Amino acid sequence: MRLNAVFAAGLIASSLHVVAAQPSFTTVAECDLAGPDSRLSLLRGHPLSDAHVYKIRQEQETRFLYADADASFGSRVDWQCVPTGKGANVFVITGEFSSNYQQGILFFRDTNDRRIHRVEFAERNRPRWVLSGSKGPQVIFENAGYESAHKYLIYGPADAYLETDELPLPATAQGESLIELKPYP
């Protein structure tokens, strides 16, 4: 009986040591969407091979990038803080998470309700442009997977989705802009 108690105590102590030794999350990118109260930080931790678990932090709140640690475990993750004009930015994060497609999120601050929102997407390739306009920021893909007969696929706020054959032209007189994203590695 005494041997079992010693074994159990040793197992508990070694388990606590493993938990304590796990690497913490570190900040890999930051983006001010529209001032310091809307700063987002992308955190990475728990590496396994070439993949990590990702979290997003705003002010004092930190949460997984997706629903939980498993869904937020990704590889080939890239991010861009994209200026959209008038002191505003969007934060685009893409990578290989829990599907056969590139998944990602475009974070933006809504000027009306002053809250941070997210536009989620999943496609065979990474996005090529961001359209900043009256409908809120939209992320645009060239249709490389041919799931649709249309040339461009557009994701926007409130689960908006559009397939089109013409790249949207921004209404520059209304302050809209089409921003080409930097090439992905």
Segment 102-156, tens digit of pLDDT: 999 999 999 889 899 999 999 999 999 999 988 899 999 999 877 789 999 999 9
* pLDDT of 23: 57
Could you tell me what percent of the chain has a pLDDT over 90? 65
12 lies in some domain: no
User: What is the rounded average pLDDT for all residues in the chain?
Assistant: 87
Q: Where are the beta strands (DSSP E) in 59-166?
A: 61-64, 73-85, 88-96, 102-109, 116-123, 129-132, 138-142, 152-156, 160-164
59 lies in some domain: yes
* pLDDT of 2: 47
* pLDDT of 14: 42
1 lies in some domain: no
* pLDDT of 6: 43
- pTM, entire model: 0.84
81 lies in some domain: yes
18 lies in some domain: no
Structure tokens at 73: 């475990």
* pLDDT of 9: 43
* pLDDT of 99: 75
* pLDDT of 19: 42
94 lies in some domain: yes
10 lies in some domain: no
Tell me how many domains the chain contains. 1
Residues spanned by the domain of 156: 25-180
75 lies in some domain: yes
* pLDDT of 22: 52
Mean pLDDT, rounded, for 67-91: 95
